[in-house]
Structure 1
Amino acid sequence: MNEIKQISSLQNTLIKKIVLLKEKSRERKKSGAFVLEGLRELQLCLKGNYEIETIVFQEDLVSEKEINKLLDKYTVSPKIVSITKEIYQKLAYRETTEGVLAIAKSKEHKLEHTNLKNKKPLVLVAEAPEKPGNIGALLRTADAANIDAVIIANPKTDMYNPNIIRSSVGCLFTNTIATGNTTEVISYLKKKNMNIYCAALTASKSYVDTDFKEASAIIVGTEATGLSGEWLDNSTQNIIIPMQGEIDSMNVSVSAAILIFEAKRQRGF
């Protein structure tokens, strides 16, 4: 059983560190650490073999016994700290996360270290997604479909942005994730002999008429600008979801979900 320390001051060094990690991308990159919030998120982080440095909890919302019960499933020994309600309200994004936050060590997400286990993998690539909420939603979809990897090309934010962790409901920790620039990602996909299917409005084929049963990468861009010309120049086939209303596009996470689950349907799930 871990020894429990108690903190009651907002000026405590650990509390200041948590605030910095939540608010500053530069601090997350410098320290190689990030903050997560919630019991489910903590459980998924442990399941994903992340190193947990410190757990802080608010005893009115979660008990020491519950924390230790969760940790007993894993060979980890993080510092455990009890904090006051006042401090928890200062740190937490929302009051419904069971009273738990943790500091964990981030992982590198290099393309060259990304192993695709299936012989005919299905991969989602998102180019330059700007909104953390969209990235989180993409990760939730990827987890739900159990695809082989999610690759972020030209990332605009670090993957451990608290809004990505929160909107992904911890699926950041359950997916195989890689990042790189567009040129690097295209080169990686070609080395893996993958078909590149770009979601685009021009020279496109309906997604339901596209064969996703071979090794496939589904590429989505932003709603504002779509995919860069480099992707379109290297596309095996542009694909489209036919629109029946007045608009010509949907939220990127919605579009990705439709395309991914069509691919999964073709593969017999």
Structure 2
Amino acid sequence: MKAKLISSIQNPLVKKTLLLKEKARERKKTGRFVVEGIREMKLAQKGGYVLETVFFCTEVLSDTDIDVFLENPHTELIQISQQVYEKMAYRETTEGILAIAQSKSHSLDGIQFKNKTPLILVAEAPEKPGNVGALLRTADAAALDAVLIANPKSDLYNPNIIRSSVGCVFTNTIGMGTTEEIIAFLKEKNITIYCAALSASKNYVECNFKQASAIVVGTEATGLTQTWLQHSHQNIIIPMQGEIDSMNVSVSAAILIFEAKRQRGF
């Protein structure tokens, strides 16, 4: 297998890759991002993402591991030195392989539900990439119909989100928009809105999640905005017996989601 070799960190393509890794503005401008690791790259391909350029370091990766990424004749294959790899890699344990991939559109208009009673997670303004990644892992585990992010604070292709989601950013149907746009989308689809909130709330186990449902969670610091609460069909709460009144948002979401899955018989 022949591949171009890059051994200088001053190479223009290396510099371009570093910009994509480090700058959300560059990712947005070019519609490209960096994905690292065999598992994550396989999930990206399975999710319909185009890997434009694959970089590999033979000191870390064997040639046989690359074959799965060569099915697309339009994928450029480039060998890099260990020095270049260490400069380009975001993580230390990504098996000597990474790629530049094309971003996808995450407009609400493109979301179609196969299920007549979809179960959706909505996260309003999640700030920490680690929380976004954890939410996406939970969504994948529960095979949710969609994850909608309202007023996103982090770029979806932030390396921290890809890492913390262990590639589940590629396995979920993800839509993004303003709070108002997502509320309008849910109402148009006749999806019941359940908001995780402390006021006027009902114990989550007493709610009917068998119907088309959206479970909406806010930030740990401030919760959901008033706009969501005004359009909520029912606020829900997880009763707590300790001294605090909140949990990590990804933990709370997981509890609510898997109660809905239990009710649905899955």
Q: Into which bin does the TM-score normalised by the smaller protein fall?
A: over 0.9
Alignment match, 1:58: 57
Please report how far the alpha carbon of residue 92 of structure 1 lies from its aligned counterpart in structure 2 after TM superposition: 1.5
What is the correspondence of 1:22-171 to structure 2 with a 5 Å cutoff?
A: 22-68=21-67, 70-71=68-69, 74-171=71-168
- 4+ residue segments displaced more than 4 Å: none
- Does residue 238 (structure 1) correspond to residue 231 (structure 2)? The answer is no
Please report how far the alpha carbon of residue 76 of structure 1 lies from its aligned counterpart in structure 2 after TM superposition: 4.8
Check whether the contact 1:206–1:239 (CA below 8 A) recurs between aligned residues: yes
Check whether the contact 2:90–2:159 (CA below 8 A) recurs between aligned residues: no
**Residue identity opposite 1:71 in structure 2:** F
Check whether the contact 2:124–2:219 (CA below 8 A) recurs between aligned residues: yes
- Does residue 11 (structure 1) correspond to residue 10 (structure 2)? The answer is yes
C-alpha separation in 2, matches of 1:76 and 1:163: 30
Check whether the contact 1:21–1:35 (CA below 8 A) recurs between aligned residues: yes
Please report how far the alpha carbon of residue 95 of structure 1 lies from its aligned counterpart in structure 2 after TM superposition: 2.0
C-alpha separation in 2, matches of 1:180 and 1:47: 25
Please report how far the alpha carbon of residue 8 of structure 1 lies from its aligned counterpart in structure 2 after TM superposition: 0.4
C-alpha separation in 2, matches of 1:127 and 1:259: 16
Which SS does the other structure have where 1:157 is aligned? Answer: coil
Compared CA separation, residues 135 and 58, structure 1 to 2 (3 A): same
Structure 1 window deviating more from structure 2 (34-43 vs 74-83): it is: 74-83
Structure 1 window deviating more from structure 2 (218-227 vs 57-66): it is: 57-66
C-alpha separation in 1, matches of 2:29 and 2:50: 17
Compared CA separation, residues 81 and 75, structure 1 to 2 (3 A): closer
Q: Please provide the CA RMSD for this pair.
A: 1.0
| 1:85-121 CA-partner distances (Å, limit 9, x unpaired) | 1111112122211111100000010001111110000
Give the length in aligned residue pairs: 266
Please report how far the alpha carbon of residue 60 of structure 1 lies from its aligned counterpart in structure 2 after TM superposition: 1.6
C-alpha separation in 2, matches of 1:265 and 1:57: 43
C-alpha separation in 1, matches of 2:17 and 2:72: 24
Instruction: Give percent identity, aligned residues only.
Output: 66
C-alpha separation in 1, matches of 2:234 and 2:150: 19
Normalising by structure 2, report the TM-score.
0.98
